[in-house]
Amino acid sequence: MNKFLVLFLLAFSLSIYDIHAECADSLALTPPMGWSSWNCFNSDISEQKIREIADFMVSTGMKDAGYEYLNIDDCWQIGRDEDGNIIVDDKNFPSGMKALADYVHSKGLKFGIYSCAGTMTCAGRPGSFGYEFQDARTYASWGVDYLKYDWCNNEGRNAQAAYKIMSDALKKSGRPIILSICEWGHSKPWTWGQGIGQLWRTTHDIISVFSGTIHWGALGIVEIIDQNAELYKYSGPGHWNDPDMLQVGNPGLSMEENRSHFTMWCMLAAPLMAGNDIRKMDKEVAKILMNKEVIAVDQDRLGKQGRRYKVFGKNEIWVKQLSGDEIAVCLFNRDDHFSWNLDIDWQKEDFSLVGVNLTEKKYKVRDLWKQKDLGTAADKMSFDVPVHGVVLLRLTPENLDIVGN
């Protein structure tokens, strides 16, 4: 082959890689929102269920509220063929993944899938170790938009190196695909994940309890919040701390706890991946998941993670810097027995850690769950926060409109 042709083809292939690498840099500029199958279906997944979920994401209003990705978790794959290509479970997914992705896309949604950096997935299905580039090309040919990449059966690999391989494979696949690093926080992926993936799990799996742990390391809501509290400096547009999928609407949480769980994920600028069976979702759960004013706190374009501002025993005040000199303030009651009565003199609060001085401008105060204007920050205010509950406030300079109305 003519050496000039070889050089041309090499330069062309490198330019294509650069284009897709640039596309990866523009992914997830706000925390990804969607739905994932594991928390409610576990391994019991099928094409029929996923099609129904896609339909309900549209009909319930979730799509319009910002939920974009429909992600299939573990147990869709059953083996590899003689050429090493991943084999889809044709009993549960008879039309194949390309047809299913097309259906999801036809609803105006994006399609996500699951694999693992190990030889096998956490449920014992084939992993991608040694097949990263082949699998990435397959995912791209199916129309995959999002890959959750787990860490079971990893055979002692270096996590950063392992995830870098899949990251490179996705960037060369010919399709922009979000990489969700699901390494459970063992090697502090927040210190190396930026540029490799767009989000990284910070803890082990979430369980549907307000507080508690189980023997293999899964954590309740409060424990996950605590482990994420000091990671704020690592989070921002295109690189998010991921405290795991939502348990809102699943058994184990009261409605007050559902509201607190959702609120704190929004304060953490966390990806919002619903994990309940939305086909059976009641009205109260729907109101929580689709409160656009609360979602706007999570999706704020500035991309700042909220910070713990004050602690009063088992009660906390969190603040989150928003664009346009706005802030979100969350009053969080972790107490198991007592409500929290709090008086706030806004003029005496020092919010300099989020770049706001309430004495320099006149701020309006709005309760985002009650969707009610409360007055201005020149007023003293009293709040009653229920057991395991929250009050979420948005403080907006008077010359700005409140986002999400």
Question: Residue 73: which CATH number?
Answer: 3.20.20.70
Domain C-terminal end among 259, 281, 298: 298
Of 245, 264, 298, the one marking the end of a domain is 298
CA–CA separation, 183 and 152 (whole Å): 9
**Domain that residue 226 falls in:** 10-298
Give the pLDDT of residue 215.
Answer: 81
Residue 272 CA to its chain's centroid (Å): 4
Instruction: Compute how many other C-beta atoms are within 10 angstroms of the C-beta atom of residue 379.
Output: 12
Domain-embedded: residue 114? yes
pLDDT at 279: 98
Q: Count other Cβ atoms within 10 Å, centred on residue 158.
A: 10
Q: What domain count does the chain have?
A: 2
315 and 253 within one domain: no
Q: Which of 73, 74, 150, 325 is catalytic?
A: 150
Which residues of the chain, if any, have pLDDT below 50?
A: 6-9, 12, 15-17, 402-405
Is 64 assigned a catalytic role? no
| Among candidate residues 14, 7, 28, the one with its CA nearest the CA of residue 172 | 14
Verify that 289 and 317 share a domain, yes or no.
no
The pLDDT of residue 320 is: 98
Say if residues 218 and 204 touch (Cβ distance below 8 Å): yes
Residues 317 and 266 reside in one and the same domain: no
Q: What is the pLDDT of residue 400?
A: 63
Residue 283 burial (C-beta neighbours within 10 Å; 0-12, 13-18, 19+): exposed
The whole-number pLDDT of residue 322 equals: 98
**Is there a single domain that holds both residue 328 and residue 289?**
no
> pTM for the full model?
0.93
Tracing tokens 């069976």 back to the chain, one arrives at: 277
Going from the C-alpha of 25 to that of each of 20, 167, 180, 237, 269, the distances in angstroms are 9, 12, 14, 10, 18
Among candidate residues 73, 74, 145, 205, the one labeled active-site is 205
The DSSP-derived string for 179-247 is EEE--TTTT-GGGT-BTTBSEEE-SS-B-SSSS-B-TTS-B-HHHHHHHHTT-GGG-BTTBEEE-----
Asked whether residue 287 falls in the same domain as residue 323, the answer is no
Phi and psi at residue 18, in whole multiples of 5°?
A: -65, -40
- Whether 205 sits among the annotated catalytic residues: the reply is yes
- One domain, residues 286 and 334: no
In a domain, 5, yes or no: no
Residues 322 and 248 in one domain: no
Question: What percent of the chain stands above pLDDT 90?
Answer: 90
Alpha carbon separation from 20 to 12, 23, 99 (Å, rounded): 13, 5, 24
Return the CATH number at 320: 2.60.40.1180
